[in-house]
Amino acid sequence: MPGLSEREARRLRSIARRIRCHVVRTISEAGAGHPGGSLSEADILAALYFHVMKLDPLRPDWEDRDRFILSKGHGAAGLYGALSERGFFSSELLKTFGRIDSSLQVHPDMHLVPGIEISTGALGQGISVALGIALAARLDGRLFHVFCLIGDGESQEGQVWEAAAAAAHYRVDNLTVILDHNGVQLMGPLRETMSMRPMADKWRSFNWEVTEIDGHDMCEIVTALETARDRQGRPSIVIAHTVKGKGVSYMEGQSAWHGKPPNAEELTRALADLQCATVGGTDG
Amino acid sequence: MVEAVRDAFGHTLVQIAHTNPNVVVLDADLASSTRVTHFASEFPERFFQMGVAEQNMVGVAAGMALMGKIPFVSTFAVFASRRVCDQVAISVAHCHLNVKLVGAYSGIVSGNNGATHQAVEDVGIMRSIPGIVVVDPADDIEMEQALHAIVAYHGPVYLRLTRDVWPRVSPQGYQFALGKALLVRQGNDVTLIGSGMMTSQCVEAADLLAESGIEARVLNMATLKPIDIDAVVEAAEETGAIVTVENHNIYGGLGSAVAEALGEHAPAPMMRVGIRDCYGECGANAALLRKYRMSPRHIAEAARSVVQRKR
């Protein structure tokens, strides 16, 4: 049954905070990566990897696992934080992010990291791959669910809408798309760069089941994801209204922090905002 | 009876799918042209009509390949290459997924559809994407053979199809191997290296050359990547002059691949016959080949001129 106890919600919120701590540390140490979108997606990743998805970090190739596709590949630092918290690999590896010979590319590579289903980073492509997995799973009578996280800037890509039409045409119900709707892209707010309003109506008109939630409210996230997962007969999208750079005061809502790593002094402020432990290890 | 390459593709795909349950087909509203209609009626549950939306089609195929399927993505060559270049590079090639891209109506002889439908750069695009095997079969026999090899090979392949019937160049009982050229005709004065339907034009050119006492070797280079370097080097060493003949721009395709092999391994005088860096137009196949200087007569002219440059 969908729903979340207050205790479980507290646990998930705490994990989301630790993911955010990884994000700012990882990106700052590497001097590369995308903090804004990695912070806005953190609560969604915590809910997926620690409550909603069926998975086993010791068996990343387990064939009945639920699949997660980060179509907005720029959020890799958030995903790596979630995977390391969940035990797919040691958090020590995060220190190699973006360095030569590292398995942690700035956009995720499926052949280098356990738990990455497909390499992404060229926007608009992951949602099609997620649809292909869902269609093939249905053909084979497999029961797992496919979750795909897309960005709102990414939604300017025509391929997203090709996939939207195809998923509805095939009445794919083993696919849930989550939109990290933080409203900000590299060059500024979406409404100025290329407005996608009305976003929810677009998806409704493509014959998707649309749920709009506060993408930082853990109860709303879990309820929406579980309801979408269990819905039959048509594809679902959860439009998560989020804040770009969520949790770091000076990054929130700022397009400047789309792809800019914080320097040492900025990192200290970010860690303080997020109440992260100051030296490595456990964050609360 | 000789079939068009696209028909041999359509029939052979059905044969293979009877024994290989992983073969699936995706179509962008061109199934009747690419001949995957046979597959669609035989295996409707494994046929996915994706509409006129090629970018999504390539990504969906990548997802299916992740699930162990062998997806054939079929559309016209112009769309299979230009339209979806980034999807092929990132979702398929970078991930080294087992997706088979089928580009029908390739080159200038594309059913009188004119420049928008004439793929003159598809081989160049595909050859420059890391890890993609590129195959351009000459005739129905080679198509059938090549399709078995392509399914047996695990990895991304770009398969180029032609629309119409052209003279057969493969012998009966021919065993195709990926990356191996076929010696179609023996000769020691010059080598004509063709691919796709242009190999049949090379054979006609060799007949013309024989009349003037030049014995031309004809090689059919069905696999454009990886190219058969040994066969190219042997031809250069034994005949001393090379003419490449392709249904494609002279940049990026067979001519470039052969020049790369010669330059690194066995420099020899060569000429490229193909589309000379321009767009095509409507017209019957024979008229197009004449106007764009790709007919047997033009191939023979190129051969005579390169023979004069032999040391």
Amino acid symbol at A221: I
- Record the tokens describing residue B233, joined without a space: 């080097």
Identify any residues that bridge with B76 across adjacent strands, giving them in sequence order.
B104
Contact A129 B50 (CB under 8 A): no
Alpha carbon separation from A183 to A35, A39, A123, A242, A248 (Å, rounded) = 15, 13, 16, 8, 17
Sign of CA dihedral A129, A130, A132, A133: positive
- Record the tokens describing residue A116, joined without a space: 């990455």
Give pLDDT tens digits for B108-146: 999 999 999 999 999 999 999 999 999 999 999 999 999
Amino acid symbol at A54: K
CA of B122 vs chain A CAs: smallest distance (Å): 21
Of the candidates B51, B60, B87, the beta carbon closest to that of A135 is on B60
Residue A281: pLDDT over 50: no
Chain B residue numbers with beta carbons less than 8 Å from the beta carbon of A165 are 51, 53
Q: How far apart, in whole angstroms, are the C-alpha atoms of residue B179 and residue B26?
A: 26
Q: What was the pLDDT predicted at B234?
A: 98
Cα angle for residues A72, A30, A245 (degrees, 5° grid): 45
Chain A residue numbers with beta carbons less than 8 Å from the beta carbon of B83 are none
Q: What was the pLDDT predicted at B142?
A: 98
Binning pLDDT at 50, 70 and 90, where does residue B91 land? Answer: very high
If one counts every other C-beta atom within 10 angstroms of the C-beta of residue B234, the result is 17
Chain A interface includes B64 (CB < 8 A)? yes
Which domains, from first to last, does chain B contain?
5-160 (3.40.50.970), 182-308 (3.40.50.920)
Phi, psi of B254 (to 5 degrees): -60, -45
> What angle separates helix A6-30 from helix A218-230, to the nearest 10 degrees?
100
A6-273, superfamily in CATH? Thiamin diphosphate (ThDP)-binding fold, Pyr/PP domains (3.40.50.970)
Cα angle for residues B98, B226, B265 (degrees, 5° grid): 160
Q: What was the pLDDT predicted at B176?
A: 97
Contact B63 A134 (CB under 8 A): yes
Residue of chain B whose Cα is closest to the Cα of A69:
B63
Collapsed DSSP state (helix, strand, coil) of residue A112: coil
Tokens 């609360």 map to which residue?
A284
Chain A residue numbers with beta carbons less than 8 Å from the beta carbon of B58 are 128
Residue A53: pLDDT over 80: yes
Give pLDDT tens digits for A217-247: 999 999 999 999 999 999 999 999 999 999 9
CA of A163 vs chain B CAs: smallest distance (Å): 6
Residue A280: pLDDT over 60: no
Residue of chain B whose Cα is closest to the Cα of A119:
B95
Q: What was the pLDDT predicted at B205?
A: 98
Strands B223-225 and B133-135: antiparallel
Q: What was the pLDDT predicted at A279?
A: 56
Q: What is the CA radius of gyration of chain A?
A: 17
Q: What was the pLDDT predicted at B311?
A: 72
Q: How far apart, in whole angstroms, are the C-alpha atoms of residue A76 and residue A70?
A: 8
Q: What is the mean pLDDT of chain B?
A: 97
Residue of chain A whose Cα is closest to the Cα of B97:
A118
- Domain residues of chain A, as ranges? 6-273
- Record the tokens describing residue A41, joined without a space: 């997606």
Of the candidates B56, B61, B65, the beta carbon closest to that of A163 is on B56
Q: How far apart, in whole angstroms, are the C-alpha atoms of residue B48 and residue B44?
A: 8
Q: How far apart, in whole angstroms, are the C-alpha atoms of residue A79 and residue A119?
A: 12
CA of B22 vs chain A CAs: smallest distance (Å): 10
Identify any residues that bridge with B223 across adjacent strands, giving them in sequence order.
B135
Chain B residue numbers with beta carbons less than 8 Å from the beta carbon of A120 are 90
Tokens 């990548």 map to which residue?
B62
Q: Is B201 exposed, middle or buried (0-12, 13-18, 19+ CB in 10 A)?
A: buried
Chain B residue numbers with beta carbons less than 8 Å from the beta carbon of A118 are 62-63, 66, 91, 95
CA of B21 vs chain A CAs: smallest distance (Å): 11
Pick among B24, B54, B60, B99 to test the A interface (most A CBs inside 10 A): B60
Chain A interface includes B46 (CB < 8 A)? yes
- Determine contact, residues B41/B62, Cβ cutoff 8 Å: no
Phi, psi of A223 (to 5 degrees): -60, -45
Contact B56 A131 (CB under 8 A): yes
- Determine contact, residues B152/B18, Cβ cutoff 8 Å: no
Chain A interface includes B90 (CB < 8 A)? yes
Chain A residue numbers with beta carbons less than 8 Å from the beta carbon of B69 are 136, 139
Identify any residues that bridge with B218 across adjacent strands, giving them in sequence order.
B185, B192
Looking at residue B119, what DSSP letter applies? B
Contacts made by residues A115-118, CB under 8 angstroms, sequence distance 24+:
A115/A57, A115/A60, A115/A83, A115/A86, A115/A88, A115/A89, A116/A70, A116/A79, A116/A83, A117/A67, A117/A68, A117/A69, A117/B66, A118/A69, A118/B62, A118/B63, A118/B66, A118/B91, A118/B95
Residue A18: pLDDT over 80: yes
Amino acid symbol at B214: I
Strands B157-160 and B100-104: parallel
Tokens 């905002």 map to which residue?
A273
Chain A interface includes B183 (CB < 8 A)? no
> What angle separates helix B54-66 from helix A158-169, to the nearest 10 degrees?
70
If we measure between CA atoms, which residue out of A102, A108, A111, A106 comes closest to residue A120? A108
Of the candidates A121, A140, A162, the beta carbon closest to that of B56 is on A162
Q: What was the pLDDT predicted at A277?
A: 82
Residue of chain A whose Cα is closest to the Cα of B49:
A166
Give pLDDT tens digits for B150-208: 999 999 999 999 999 999 999 989 999 999 999 999 999 999 999 999 999 999 999 99
Of the candidates B51, B69, B95, the beta carbon closest to that of A136 is on B69
Chain A interface includes B83 (CB < 8 A)? no
Mean pLDDT value across residues A160-189 = 98
Alpha carbon separation from A235 to A135, A155, A173, B160 (Å, rounded) = 12, 17, 5, 35
Residue A282: pLDDT over 90: no
Peptide bond into B226 cis (omega under 30): yes
- Determine contact, residues A24/A97, Cβ cutoff 8 Å: no
Chain A residue numbers with beta carbons less than 8 Å from the beta carbon of B50 are 166
Of the candidates A137, A158, A166, the beta carbon closest to that of B50 is on A166
- Determine contact, residues B121/B82, Cβ cutoff 8 Å: yes
Give pLDDT tens digits for B266-306: 999 999 999 999 999 999 999 999 999 999 999 999 999 99
Chain B residue numbers with beta carbons less than 8 Å from the beta carbon of A121 are 90
Spell out which chain A residues touch chain B, with contact meaning CB-CB distance below 8 angstroms: 109-111, 117-122, 124-137, 139-140, 158-159, 162-163, 165-166, 169-170
Q: What was the pLDDT predicted at B107?
A: 96
Of the candidates A111, A119, A166, the beta carbon closest to that of B53 is on A166
Of the candidates B45, B68, B95, the beta carbon closest to that of A118 is on B95
Tokens 């790596």 map to which residue?
A80
Chain A residue numbers with beta carbons less than 8 Å from the beta carbon of B99 are none
pTM exceeding 0.90: yes
Give pLDDT tens digits for A126-167: 999 999 999 999 999 999 999 999 999 999 999 999 999 999
- Determine contact, residues A146/A118, Cβ cutoff 8 Å: no
Residue B258: pLDDT over 90: yes
Q: How many CB pairs under 8 A join A and B?
A: 104
Q: What was the pLDDT predicted at A284?
A: 43
Q: What is the mean pLDDT of chain A?
A: 96
Residue of chain A whose Cα is closest to the Cα of B57:
A128
Tokens 């012998």 map to which residue?
B171
Tokens 């290329």 map to which residue?
A194
Q: How far apart, in whole angstroms, are the C-alpha atoms of residue A278 and residue A264?
A: 12
Collapsed DSSP state (helix, strand, coil) of residue B300: helix
